Amino acid sequence: MGAVVQGFAALANVHVLIGILIGCVVGMLVGIFPGITATMSVAIASSFTLALPPQQGLAILLSIWIAAMYGDRIPAILVNTPGTPASIATTFDGYPLAQQGKAALALAISTVCSAVGAVFGIAVFAFLSFPLAEFALNFGPAEFFALVLFGLTMMATISSGSLVKGLIAGLIGLAFATVGLDPILGFPRFTFGVLQLQSGIGFIPFIIGLFGIAEVLEQFLTHSPQNQGVATQLGRWFPTKEERKQILKPLLIGSVTGALIGTIPAAGGDIAGLISWDQAKRLSKHPEEFGKGSIEGLSAADTANTSVVGGALTTTLALGIPGDSVTAIFLGSLLIWGLNPGPNLFQDNPTLIYTIVGILLIATAFLFVLSLIRIQGVAKLLSLPRPLLWSGIVLFCVVGTFAVQNSFLDVWIMLGAGVLGLVLRRLGFSPGPVVLGLLLGPLAESNLRRTLIISNGSFDIFLTSPIAMLLFAISAIALITSFVRSRRQRKQTDPKPEPEE
């Protein structure tokens, strides 16, 4: 009980509250502008927040993340363009509703559903993370290695179009993670005599380049004029009694689906929204309305893509395995602050967990109010030219990276990662597994080597661990089903040859 009180008492700090406010405003803007992803903005913000105490830094980062999930519905509904990938499913019914002159109704329903989803996810995090962390105390090096492998496999199978490319991307990240001092014996590897590289490739500079610079370069490379019009007829805000009834079932579906999917490494708001929309359609009495302005469809999608936040944080903090790219950045930031995510965090620093719960609840409440404010002016923001955003993002990437350690080497690493990110994207590789590989590489190596030292070099030790074998089995099943699914999809989409005349 003391930890709960102390955790919430930390929120009485005015700097934490200001951090939440700043994070919410920045996150809303990030969500509103398509092309600026939550991952990019959290990556850039992480360089700013390193100088702050953990509570203030987390207040900013978490608020940006959850606010981006609110803001991204606006362009999805008004312009049929998801503000972040998490709002892809919102476009299915949000934009058709806007075209029917019900944009304000869609935004209001979306606000309520997002708030409910967020609170549900936060509750899952508050109640599930401690038991999960306690269970994880049973994990030894073998189990942690299996868990890391599971995380990398899930990321590779879920986030990439091609399974083989996803696995290669993960291995590229693992290869970069070998730069620096070997985690067991401290031997310098791939440092090329550069002293700064002994601490490894900087995580923050790398992700800023991979998600910030690469994104800008790709948008610039593929830029063409936008054709979608902005829906300007907002219509009424308040739903009728019948419409309010329609929201209830998809609200439940979205909450549970989102929280569950969030716990799976690599599965983020985009997947949660899509699966929830699909499930709601299956269980609806009017599935024919989905995709044409269904309130049920909109509700399910938007509830899931905020509920996912709590699920992802549960896995990240309790097990030390990131739920998606954004939580990977949180994990990196926590490590820099000297806080090690995983079971020990819950034993050594339980008040921080409740502080995080409090931050998320306050941010959700603030965003709920902010989102209900009439947003006619926001439609004008959506027509801001991209070139203005691009140059601003590049400058903040460069200066933000320099600010991490006042090092130009970091900035060069960022630029290199930006080029790598662009090349990987153009060749069909997802950057997510690369980030996960970079972050989890040292954990994977140290746990594997410790395991093998204990067993005197024998891999049979894994057979004696039921948890490790279960995780290996799930990883193998995920790989096989992903392979079979992609083969089936290829057979369905391969065009039949035309008959010769």
Contact residues: other proteins, CB under 8 A = 48, 51, 161-162, 164-165, 167-168, 171-172, 174-175, 178, 182, 184-185, 187, 189-190, 217-218, 220-224, 385-388, 390-392, 394-396, 398-400, 402-403, 406, 408, 411-412, 415, 419, 425-428, 444-445, 448-449, 452-453, 455-457, 486, 490, 495, 497-498, 500
Other Cβ atoms less than 10 A from the Cβ of 353: the count is 22
Q: Closer to other proteins at the Cβ: 363 or 414?
A: 414
Q: Closer to other proteins at the Cβ: 182 or 289?
A: 182
Q: Closer to other proteins at the Cβ: 238 or 483?
A: 483
Indicate the burial class of 484 (C-beta count within 10 angstroms; 0-12, 13-18, 19 or more). Answer: exposed
Q: Closer to other proteins at the Cβ: 64 or 312?
A: 64
Region at 190 (left for phi over 0; alpha for psi -120 to 50; beta for the rest)? left
DSSP of 421-460: HHHHHHTT--HHHHHHHHHHHHHHHHHHHHHHHHTTT-GG
Q: Closer to other proteins at the Cβ: 466 or 499?
A: 499
Closest approach of Cβ 333 to other proteins, in Å? 16
Q: Closer to other proteins at the Cβ: 189 or 245?
A: 189
Q: Closer to other proteins at the Cβ: 427 or 463?
A: 427
Q: Closer to other proteins at the Cβ: 137 or 164?
A: 164
Closest approach of Cβ 392 to other proteins, in Å? 6
CA-CA-CA-CA torsion for 410, 412, 417, 423, nearest 10 degrees? 180
Closest approach of Cβ 161 to other proteins, in Å? 5
Closest approach of Cβ 446 to other proteins, in Å? 9
Give the residue from 486, 89, 436, 468 showing the smallest Cα distance to 265.
436
350-372 vs 54-71: helix axis angle to the nearest 10?
40
Give the residue from 439, 422, 408 showing the smallest Cα distance to 326.
439
DSSP structural state of residue 272? H
Closest approach of Cβ 167 to other proteins, in Å? 5
Closest approach of Cβ 153 to other proteins, in Å? 12
**CA–CA separation, 305 and 90 (whole Å):** 9
Q: Closer to other proteins at the Cβ: 5 or 427?
A: 427
Using only the alpha carbons of the chain, give its radius of gyration: 23
**CA–CA separation, 422 and 415 (whole Å):** 11
DSSP structural state of residue 83? S
**What's the sign of the alpha-carbon dihedral 147, 149, 151, 157?**
negative
Closest approach of Cβ 164 to other proteins, in Å? 5
**CA–CA separation, 440 and 335 (whole Å):** 12
Closest approach of Cβ 498 to other proteins, in Å? 6
> Which distant-in-sequence residues (6+ apart) come within 8 Å of 364 by Cβ?
66, 115, 118, 119, 122
What is the distance between the terminal CA atoms of the chain, rounded to a whole angstrom? 81
Q: Closer to other proteins at the Cβ: 56 or 110?
A: 56
DSSP structural state of residue 11? G
CA-CA-CA-CA torsion for 124, 12, 66, 212, nearest 10 degrees? -130
Closest approach of Cβ 219 to other proteins, in Å? 9
Closest approach of Cβ 185 to other proteins, in Å? 6
Closest approach of Cβ 72 to other proteins, in Å? 19
Residue 347's H or E segment, with its range, is helix 343-348
**CA–CA separation, 131 and 346 (whole Å):** 10
Query: One-letter amino acid identity for 182?
Result: D
**CA–CA separation, 231 and 298 (whole Å):** 17
Both tokens assigned to 304: 């899931």
In order of 299, 483, 491, the CA distances from 207 in angstroms are: 33, 28, 36
Q: Closer to other proteins at the Cβ: 127 or 220?
A: 220
Q: Closer to other proteins at the Cβ: 178 or 279?
A: 178
Closest approach of Cβ 456 to other proteins, in Å? 5
Query: One-letter amino acid identity for 166?
Result: G
